[in-house]
Amino acid sequence: MTYLSRLRSISFFKLKEIDLRFNLIKDLDTILEIGCFPGGWTQYILSNYKDLKLISIDKKQINSFRSNDFYFIKGDIFDANIISIIRKVVKSNFNLIISDACINISGINAVDTINYILLIKRILLISKVFLIKGGNLLFKIMLGGLEYKIKQMFRPFLKIDFIRLACTKNRSSEVFVYCRFLRF
Protein backbone atom coordinates (compact mmCIF):
# COMPACT_ATOMS: atom_id res chain seq x y z
CA MET A 1 0.00 0.00 0.00
CA THR A 2 1.65 3.20 -1.07
CA TYR A 3 -0.78 5.90 0.02
CA LEU A 4 -1.78 4.78 3.49
CA SER A 5 -0.61 1.73 5.34
CA ARG A 6 -4.15 0.53 6.16
CA LEU A 7 -6.50 -0.70 3.43
CA ARG A 8 -9.87 1.10 3.54
CA SER A 9 -11.80 -1.73 1.84
CA ILE A 10 -11.26 -4.73 -0.42
CA SER A 11 -13.06 -2.78 -3.15
CA PHE A 12 -9.59 -1.30 -3.66
CA PHE A 13 -8.74 -4.51 -5.59
CA LYS A 14 -11.93 -4.37 -7.67
CA LEU A 15 -11.08 -0.96 -9.04
CA LYS A 16 -7.48 -2.09 -9.50
CA GLU A 17 -8.62 -5.09 -11.58
CA ILE A 18 -10.84 -2.91 -13.79
CA ASP A 19 -8.12 -0.30 -14.18
CA LEU A 20 -5.50 -2.86 -15.16
CA ARG A 21 -7.86 -4.49 -17.68
CA PHE A 22 -9.26 -1.34 -19.26
CA ASN A 23 -6.75 1.46 -18.58
CA LEU A 24 -9.63 3.23 -16.89
CA ILE A 25 -7.69 6.03 -15.22
CA LYS A 26 -4.45 6.53 -17.17
CA ASP A 27 -3.95 10.09 -18.48
CA LEU A 28 -7.07 11.56 -16.85
CA ASP A 29 -7.31 14.99 -15.17
CA THR A 30 -10.54 14.83 -13.19
CA ILE A 31 -12.70 12.06 -11.73
CA LEU A 32 -16.04 12.20 -9.93
CA GLU A 33 -16.63 9.27 -7.58
CA ILE A 34 -20.13 8.43 -6.35
CA GLY A 35 -20.50 6.25 -3.24
CA CYS A 36 -16.93 6.38 -1.93
CA PHE A 37 -17.28 5.31 1.73
CA PRO A 38 -15.14 3.83 3.33
CA GLY A 39 -12.66 4.87 0.66
CA GLY A 40 -11.09 1.82 -1.03
CA TRP A 41 -11.50 3.18 -4.56
CA THR A 42 -10.40 6.63 -3.43
CA GLN A 43 -7.32 5.10 -1.85
CA TYR A 44 -6.52 3.17 -5.03
CA ILE A 45 -6.72 6.31 -7.17
CA LEU A 46 -4.76 8.55 -4.80
CA SER A 47 -2.08 5.85 -4.33
CA ASN A 48 -1.51 5.23 -7.99
CA TYR A 49 -2.13 8.50 -9.79
CA LYS A 50 -0.68 11.94 -9.29
CA ASP A 51 -1.75 15.25 -10.86
CA LEU A 52 -5.35 14.14 -10.98
CA LYS A 53 -8.26 15.87 -9.26
CA LEU A 54 -10.67 13.51 -7.48
CA ILE A 55 -14.06 14.63 -6.11
CA SER A 56 -15.82 11.93 -4.09
CA ILE A 57 -19.39 11.87 -2.75
CA ASP A 58 -21.09 9.72 -0.15
CA LYS A 59 -24.04 9.94 2.21
CA LYS A 60 -21.64 8.76 4.92
CA GLN A 61 -18.70 10.77 6.21
CA ILE A 62 -15.34 9.25 5.30
CA ASN A 63 -12.07 9.69 7.11
CA SER A 64 -10.52 12.10 4.70
CA PHE A 65 -7.25 11.64 2.82
CA ARG A 66 -4.43 14.12 3.18
CA SER A 67 -4.18 15.21 -0.42
CA ASN A 68 -4.56 18.52 -2.19
CA ASP A 69 -5.97 16.64 -5.17
CA PHE A 70 -8.93 15.22 -3.23
CA TYR A 71 -12.21 16.81 -2.20
CA PHE A 72 -14.99 15.00 -0.32
CA ILE A 73 -18.67 15.99 -0.53
CA LYS A 74 -20.97 14.54 2.13
CA GLY A 75 -24.30 14.28 0.35
CA ASP A 76 -26.93 12.16 -1.34
CA ILE A 77 -26.93 12.13 -5.13
CA PHE A 78 -30.75 12.31 -5.02
CA ASP A 79 -30.64 15.65 -3.20
CA ALA A 80 -32.15 18.38 -5.36
CA ASN A 81 -29.14 20.67 -4.86
CA ILE A 82 -26.35 18.09 -5.41
CA ILE A 83 -25.65 19.40 -8.93
CA SER A 84 -24.97 22.93 -7.70
CA ILE A 85 -22.92 21.60 -4.77
CA ILE A 86 -20.64 19.68 -7.16
CA ARG A 87 -20.50 22.67 -9.50
CA LYS A 88 -19.29 24.88 -6.65
CA VAL A 89 -16.34 22.53 -6.12
CA VAL A 90 -15.30 22.18 -9.78
CA LYS A 91 -16.00 24.52 -12.66
CA SER A 92 -14.79 22.18 -15.41
CA ASN A 93 -16.31 18.82 -16.33
CA PHE A 94 -14.92 15.36 -15.57
CA ASN A 95 -13.14 12.84 -17.82
CA LEU A 96 -14.55 9.93 -15.83
CA ILE A 97 -17.38 9.24 -13.38
CA ILE A 98 -17.24 6.09 -11.26
CA SER A 99 -20.00 4.83 -9.01
CA ASP A 100 -19.92 1.98 -6.51
CA ALA A 101 -23.28 3.08 -5.01
CA CYS A 102 -25.93 0.44 -4.66
CA ILE A 103 -29.49 0.26 -3.36
CA ASN A 104 -30.56 -1.61 -0.25
CA ILE A 105 -31.60 -4.94 -1.78
CA SER A 106 -35.03 -5.94 -0.40
CA GLY A 107 -35.17 -9.33 -2.11
CA ILE A 108 -38.45 -8.36 -3.80
CA ASN A 109 -37.40 -8.32 -7.44
CA ALA A 110 -39.96 -5.77 -8.68
CA VAL A 111 -39.08 -3.30 -5.92
CA ASP A 112 -35.32 -3.77 -6.34
CA THR A 113 -35.57 -3.35 -10.12
CA ILE A 114 -37.45 -0.03 -9.78
CA ASN A 115 -34.99 1.25 -7.19
CA TYR A 116 -32.00 0.23 -9.30
CA ILE A 117 -33.43 1.95 -12.36
CA LEU A 118 -33.99 5.13 -10.31
CA LEU A 119 -30.38 4.97 -9.12
CA ILE A 120 -28.86 4.47 -12.57
CA LYS A 121 -31.15 7.15 -14.05
CA ARG A 122 -29.73 9.56 -11.50
CA ILE A 123 -26.17 8.47 -12.33
CA LEU A 124 -26.96 9.00 -16.03
CA LEU A 125 -28.32 12.48 -15.35
CA ILE A 126 -25.21 13.42 -13.35
CA SER A 127 -23.05 12.04 -16.18
CA LYS A 128 -24.86 14.12 -18.79
CA VAL A 129 -24.31 17.25 -16.70
CA PHE A 130 -20.73 16.62 -15.59
CA LEU A 131 -18.93 14.45 -18.15
CA ILE A 132 -16.92 16.00 -20.95
CA LYS A 133 -17.90 14.95 -24.47
CA GLY A 134 -16.07 11.66 -25.07
CA GLY A 135 -15.97 11.00 -21.30
CA ASN A 136 -16.49 7.61 -19.65
CA LEU A 137 -18.69 6.23 -16.88
CA LEU A 138 -18.28 3.14 -14.72
CA PHE A 139 -21.03 2.01 -12.38
CA LYS A 140 -22.01 -1.10 -10.45
CA ILE A 141 -25.17 -3.17 -10.62
CA MET A 142 -26.07 -5.90 -8.17
CA LEU A 143 -29.14 -7.22 -9.92
CA GLY A 144 -29.47 -9.50 -12.94
CA GLY A 145 -31.80 -8.89 -15.87
CA LEU A 146 -31.08 -5.18 -16.38
CA GLU A 147 -28.67 -5.48 -19.31
CA TYR A 148 -31.22 -4.75 -22.06
CA LYS A 149 -32.67 -1.76 -20.19
CA ILE A 150 -29.19 -0.39 -19.50
CA LYS A 151 -28.19 -0.67 -23.17
CA GLN A 152 -31.28 1.37 -24.08
CA MET A 153 -30.84 3.98 -21.34
CA PHE A 154 -27.14 4.52 -21.93
CA ARG A 155 -27.35 4.99 -25.69
CA PRO A 156 -25.65 8.41 -25.38
CA PHE A 157 -22.44 6.34 -24.94
CA LEU A 158 -20.79 4.76 -27.96
CA LYS A 159 -19.72 1.52 -26.24
CA ILE A 160 -21.08 -0.38 -23.23
CA ASP A 161 -19.31 -3.33 -21.59
CA PHE A 162 -20.61 -5.49 -18.75
CA ILE A 163 -17.65 -6.53 -16.62
CA ARG A 164 -17.59 -9.45 -14.22
CA LEU A 165 -14.51 -9.46 -12.04
CA ALA A 166 -12.30 -12.44 -11.23
CA CYS A 167 -12.47 -11.50 -7.54
CA THR A 168 -16.30 -11.46 -7.46
CA LYS A 169 -17.80 -14.47 -5.66
CA ASN A 170 -19.52 -16.95 -8.01
CA ARG A 171 -22.98 -16.51 -6.51
CA SER A 172 -22.85 -12.70 -6.47
CA SER A 173 -24.74 -10.84 -9.18
CA GLU A 174 -22.25 -7.95 -9.03
CA VAL A 175 -21.44 -6.59 -12.46
CA PHE A 176 -19.72 -3.34 -13.46
CA VAL A 177 -21.03 -1.41 -16.44
CA TYR A 178 -18.39 0.51 -18.36
CA CYS A 179 -19.89 3.11 -20.70
CA ARG A 180 -17.39 4.75 -23.03
CA PHE A 181 -17.33 7.89 -25.19
CA LEU A 182 -20.27 10.09 -24.25
CA ARG A 183 -21.50 11.42 -27.56
CA PHE A 184 -23.97 14.15 -26.55
Would you please indicate which residues are annotated as catalytic (active-site) residues?
Answer: 140
Residue number, 37 or 116, with CB nearest to ligand SAM: 37
What is the contact surface with ligand SAM in residues (CB under 6 A)?
Answer: 8-9, 11, 35-41, 57-60, 76-78, 100-102
Amino acid at 81: N
The distance in angstroms from the start CA to the end CA of the chain is 38
Kindly give, in sequence order, each residue whose CB lies less than 8 Å from that of residue 6, ignoring residues fewer than 6 positions away. none
Q: How many CB atoms lie within 10 A of CB 52?
A: 18
Q: Is 179 exposed, middle or buried (0-12, 13-18, 19+ CB in 10 A)?
A: buried
Measured CA to CA, the distance from residue 76 to residue 63 in angstroms comes to: 17
3-class SS of residue 148: helix
Residue number, 78 or 162, with CB nearest to ligand SAM: 78
| CB 100 to ligand SAM: min, Å | 3
| CB 157 to ligand SAM: min, Å | 21
Residue number, 142 or 151, with CB nearest to ligand SAM: 142
| CB 57 to ligand SAM: min, Å | 5
| CB 143 to ligand SAM: min, Å | 14
Kindly give, in sequence order, each residue whose CB lies less than 8 Å from that of residue 165, ignoring residues fewer than 6 positions away. 14, 17, 18, 174, 176
Find the helix or strand (DSSP H, E) in which 60 lies.
Answer: none
Measured CA to CA, the distance from residue 114 to residue 133 in angstroms comes to: 29
Residue number, 72 or 157, with CB nearest to ligand SAM: 72
